[in-house]
Structure 1
């Protein structure tokens, strides 16, 4: 996922950015409400982690403005405020989830995964790279109009890579999104599924869309290979 962190406490912002990056996500950080609002409106993010108390504009005002301008980006709001009324205000402003400080980083990751799944379910549509097409709504894949039979895991990996076409998708990211972190990073299960995808998506069509980035992960050619 591409995540925007809007947090004025720089030490916490740095910790969040490092942890999210290590978990395989692309992260940008802003330290004030106006900066966060501008970035969220123009950045094409998959999720915004938004602090409740920010200089310039607080998190509630940022979220209200985002929704008022038609943005549907999922927002996970963080706060040190424990009052129920504060949480209700954030949710009423359009936040999708709320996490009080202090929090477990594992819980933060789990909540982000849940938001991403929810968005994928409600925003299911088509993903394309050249003549390679994935229809997430019908869970079908095509190359040049020819349907490709994929297993459920292969389909999920291909959809993830298509959603990040041209960018590195780390092994950790695949495990986190497709297996929900429930398998060992040292396992060869990803290699097996990538080999299966190449045998079905690339080889029969004389293409090489799926590239291995040694020591980093995988990348799908945005032009379809």
Structure 2
């Protein structure tokens, strides 16, 4: 009986390996992670002047102060949706340039959904304390963490978790975990009460400055990694 050798292309294990390699390559080509981080970092830093100059601070003769961050409410409700729309455009354009489909829409939808968390939370708190007294300090630590999480730069981290899942991007998952840990636990709480019209604004701007800088550094890192593997 004559025997014939099976061509390498007909080996099921070889075909399965080729399919997996192709799927991995497609996922890599679909990623424009650096662009998402760049847009979000720029949006975070651009929000600092709005918060700084839009903050209303009033102090009493006894040294107690009240403040309202009106500038954030003027900026973030439209800035984050615009940022996610730009990210969606960049992902779709990059995918079409390679003849691929874009899987960014669940991320964009999540981004738009988280964009309303901060103004909704602010409205709920304002409505509650309009008829209830403020609690005596010190406030519970979990309340500070919740406040940080619902801030726009905290919600950016939540949406980035969705992007990491969509892209099957372990590097982005690790970056986002570190970013959220920084936002929630590492960035110092405001302690500028001794100089309300300066120290208070600095204390409020610091988390945004750190978050925006980390996002931009992440964008540079992912862009460099893409060039190395491109």
TM range (shorter): under 0.3
**Larger proportion of helix:** 2
Higher relative contact order (CA 8 A, sep 6+): 2
Query: Normalised by the size of structure 2, how large is the TM-score?
Result: 0.26
